[in-house]
Amino acid sequence: MAVDYLVIVVYLAGLPAMGWWGMRRARSKSEFLVAGRRLGPAMYSST
């Protein structure tokens, strides 16, 4: 049961961390929203 909670905590901590990392790499707000147009066809088709 502790592993379940650990997975949830890591996931919830990872989401803002990835958002912050992406925000730091983006040059502007509009580039952040479209991921700099560098996602590739797999990501575009899966979202």
pLDDT at 2 over 90: yes
Rounded to an integer, what distance in angstroms lies between the CA atom of residue 6 and that of residue 12? 10
| Mean residue pLDDT across the chain | 78
Residue type, 1: M
- Determine how many CB atoms are found less than 10 A away from the CB of residue 43: 10
Position with higher pLDDT, 1 vs 4: 4
**What pLDDT is stored for residue 35 in this prediction?**
63
Residues 43/33, Cβ–Cβ less than 8 Å:
no
pTM of the complete model: 0.53
Residue 9 has a pLDDT of 96
